[in-house]
Structure 1
Amino acid sequence: MRTTLYWFRNDLRLHDQRALQQAIAHAQAHGQALLLVYVHEPVQDEPTAWGFRRMGAHRRRFLADTLQDLQTSLLGLGQRLVLLHGHVAEVLPTCARAVQADTVFCEDIPAPEEQAQVQALIGAGLSVQSLCQSSLIEPGALPFAAADMPQVFTEFRQRIESKGLKPLTPLPAPTQLPAPPIDSLTALPGWTDSPFTLLQAHTGDDAHGRSNFPYTQAPCRGGETRALAHLHNYLTPPWPDRYKQTRNALQGQHTSSHWSPWLATGAVSARRIWAELQAYEHTHGSNDGTYWLWFELLWRDNFRMLHWQHGPQLYAARGLSNLPQPSHFPKDFARWCSGQTGEPIVDAGMRELAATGFTSNRMRQIVASFLVHDLSCDWRAGAAWFESQLVDFDVCSNQGNWLYVSGRGTDPRAGRRFNPSKQTQDHDAQGRYRQVWLA
């Protein structure tokens, strides 16, 4: 019996899964089995050019919980998630041959490495059907071609809003799935029996008790189940109404939506969030807070669309600018990573990040600015450290934000320096945040 192969990437959920629904329809139309696969690349376990492992312990644990939750949901539908360790270009073609699959369905991700993976599968003779499904607005629905996309976010947002563009209605989760192939799946190349084994992730509940996002505690664990529960809990008065006023706070579990970790792994879709937010506004009314949640989701879309437009250029040392090559000072960078710069607000933020895998958006801007503009270090090193540490690492948003702060993105200004003294006075005048993380 032949097989349709679905490759999970950063879309680790069952609801609003149009790519998976296409795979299901293909399998049913051709009388095929359905194999569901996740691949962990060895490069994630290797040191970066900056001297630390690409995927740190916090991301590993959150991702392992996410995969385990997806596995539980699939088992309830008579399916299972096959976990493979190896290079996508090697293990997926071998896997496809083993189960007689010639078509792979997957999410389309606009970042260069992820695009290269798809091209490698095509080069290996597989038919790849990829679909962009992580954005709020469909790329094809935008009122401009990728080459003509506005380079400044304000114009991007205004043109979308002026056209009245709205996201597609999110799809419900499937209630049944085609059966997996009857072949012995344990014989597949790189097969691993557990997400925690696959990711070399620990299972102890040791997230920092003072964390803004304690990801080992039940309400914040990875996976679709917790993502949807958190979405429901946050969309309860008064939290969304207060969002614009509280979003720059440095600590507090209800000061921000904290949707980003689940969005980053695809455990919840942006369209599902939007639909739930619309329902909230219908019942409780709209205001600056609810509008600003839409505003932030559009920022996330903007970074994705910039990747479709500029691709690998976003990863070059100069970015999109004509600025000189960035300087770098490894000892200063190491002090920044460990929170030993001597600037209290920066050190507090960096220690929180290292201890918990999370820190507020405002703090990310403060510490990124300090690395680039005060320590004169390479912005790419900072982006790599965030990639390693953050439980909500998202390749498009991370790259876009670092380019924005460093002045090497699309914004016409030459950079975003955040004065540490002013930021301290504005956001931690009483010293409570510093007391928590510098004690």
Structure 2
Amino acid sequence: MSTLIYWFRNDLRLSDNPAFAQACLNAEHLLPVYVHDCKEQKTVYGFERQGLHRKTFLRASLDDLRVELQAQGSDLLELYGEPQVILQKLLTDTVAKSVYCEQIEAPEEMELVRVLRDQGMDIREFWQSSMLEPQDLPFALEKMPDMFTAFRREVERAQLKFAKPIPTPQHIPALPAFLPQGSILPSSTQSFAHPYFLGGASHAQTHLKQYLERRLPDDYKETRNQLIGMDYSSKFSAWLALGCISVRDIAAQLNEYENCYGANDGTYWLWFELLWRDYFRFIHFKYGQSLYRAGGLTGLPVKPSSLASFEQWRSGNTGTELVDAGVRELHHTGYLSNRMRQIVASYWIYDMNGDWRAGAAWFESQLIDYDVYSNQGNWLYIAGRGTDPRGGRPFNVAKQTQDHDPHGVYRKLWLSAG
């Protein structure tokens, strides 16, 4: 038995965290770490890659994780800098043998792990962010169906629903006797709150519990395209994005709900949306870096867009009320309904001839539920540069306005917010 480092990434929880559970089993001493990567904090478009709302939600989630670790006699070490420098120093200072972490199958995250290994570090990655286990699928990921519908049909034909979640470790190994010089295990000195969400695993579980107790899944299919409020959709996405709760945990509790109250269109549609999330993850194993090219999986050129038009769009000053209301909601809350995300993205790409990559970068900066797989997948889908052979998805804003905000309630709410 030896000293190990557990590097938390987008898995800020102890429950149903296979990588952390394995580290607990293999270590005599375990140092839980979160590294705030200070490299490349700004996008090529000049704004922060992680906006205020994302930082706020992350801060609350880390504080919650620390409390959970402390309750079991451990703690969370937070450090700021480049992970390749920070982790190398920690391994040396603590004489740790390995770094355990979750696997993230996206180009920047994969490149970072490659660099760490090239430096001689023993990095043990565990895939754990999907509802289904890759090895349970009825096809190899490299040969998975390109179209979601075909993917879903094969999954359903194999009668796959979710992988069983694992419990929280009963014992967390003690911290190393020697901690790095100058490293402090900090507690938050400021109270952070979000108008919609409170970050952290405890709040994720509280939200899921009340969502199920109030029988909200039953109406999900009918209400999911609404624009205002908390209850029209599940709102699981922010906690899922940082791994404050696992998708397998949600699917398992949803399954228990169906066993108690019966399955219906709403519960199926919730599972259906979680399967979309899996699809966007798994397609990365097949196409990888190609998903991040300007043309995506196509040879389509990218039309240059002016900085002035981009500023109009992202500040909510296009003159198209529904679009402006949506972008302003995003700015004020860090959240936007799925329907509005599609509308504002379509408007930027097709009505303003904008570069889809700029829009994707703005969503990355602003959304508290930013998820690299889903964000890239959805923007490629709208832009017609992903796996869908039918091309892009331009939305008729006038029709969308009539369908989803006929009385102007949503527009009035957010246009008045400035």
Shorter-chain TM-score category? Answer: over 0.9
SS class of match (1:147): helix
Judge conservation of contact 2:380–2:386 (CA < 8 Å) in 1.
Answer: yes
**In the TM superposition, what is the alpha-carbon distance from 1:2 to its structure 2 partner?**
4.3
**In the TM superposition, what is the alpha-carbon distance from 1:108 to its structure 2 partner?**
0.3
**Are 1:43 and 2:36 matched, yes or no?**
no
Q: Which residue of 1 aligns with 2:118?
A: 123
**In the TM superposition, what is the alpha-carbon distance from 1:43 to its structure 2 partner?**
2.8
Alpha-carbon RMSD: 1.5
Q: Which residue of 2 aligns with 1:34?
A: 30
Judge conservation of contact 2:21–2:168 (CA < 8 Å) in 1.
Answer: no
Q: So what's the TM-score if we normalise by structure 2?
A: 0.97
C-alpha spacing 1:192/1:52, structure 2 compared with 1 (3 Å): farther
Q: For 1:233 and 1:377, how far apart are their aligned partners in 2?
A: 41
Q: Deviation string for 1:326-350 (max 9, x for gaps)?
A: 3222111111100000000000000
Please, which of 408, 414, 419 is the counterpart of residue 396 of structure 2? 419
Q: Which residue of 2 aligns with 1:244?
A: 221
Q: Which residue of 1 aligns with 2:90?
A: 95
Please, which of 228, 242, 249 is the counterpart of residue 265 of structure 1? 242
SS class of match (1:43): coil
Q: For 1:103 and 1:329, how far apart are their aligned partners in 2?
A: 47
**In the TM superposition, what is the alpha-carbon distance from 1:195 to its structure 2 partner?**
6.0
**Are 1:378 and 2:371 matched, yes or no?**
no
Judge conservation of contact 2:90–2:180 (CA < 8 Å) in 1.
Answer: no
Q: For 1:266 and 1:312, how far apart are their aligned partners in 2?
A: 23
5 Å-filtered alignment, 1:333-344, equals 333-344=310-321
Q: For 2:108 and 2:401, how far apart are their aligned partners in 1?
A: 38
Please, which of 70, 81, 90 is the counterpart of residue 75 of structure 1? 70
Q: Which residue of 1 aligns with 2:282?
A: 305
5 Å-filtered alignment, 1:283-322, equals 283-322=260-299
SS class of match (1:305): helix
For residue 349 of structure 1, what is the amino acid of its counterpart? G
Q: Taking every aligned residue pair, what percent have the same amino acid on both sides?
A: 50
SS class of match (2:282): helix
Matched pairs, number: 416
For residue 157 of structure 1, what is the amino acid of its counterpart? R
5 Å-filtered alignment, 1:191-270, equals 193-194=186-187, 203=191, 205=193, 207=194, 214-215=195-196, 220-270=197-247
Please, which of 104, 123, 132 is the counterpart of residue 127 of structure 2? 132
Q: Deviation string for 1:199-246 (max 9, x for gaps)?
A: xxx7465x5xxxxxx24xxxx210000000100111124310100000
Q: Which residue of 1 aligns with 2:157?
A: 162
C-alpha spacing 1:203/1:385, structure 2 compared with 1 (3 Å): farther
Q: So what's the TM-score if we normalise by structure 1?
A: 0.92
Q: For 1:18 and 1:281, how far apart are their aligned partners in 2?
A: 26
Q: For 2:154 and 2:365, how far apart are their aligned partners in 1?
A: 35
Judge conservation of contact 2:141–2:285 (CA < 8 Å) in 1.
Answer: yes
- Unpaired segments ≥5 residues, structure 2: none
- Unpaired segments ≥5 residues, structure 1: 197-201, 208-213
Judge conservation of contact 2:132–2:163 (CA < 8 Å) in 1.
Answer: yes
For residue 177 of structure 2, what is the amino acid of its counterpart? I
Moved more, 153-162 or 136-145: 136-145
**Are 1:363 and 2:356 matched, yes or no?**
no
**Are 1:111 and 2:111 matched, yes or no?**
no
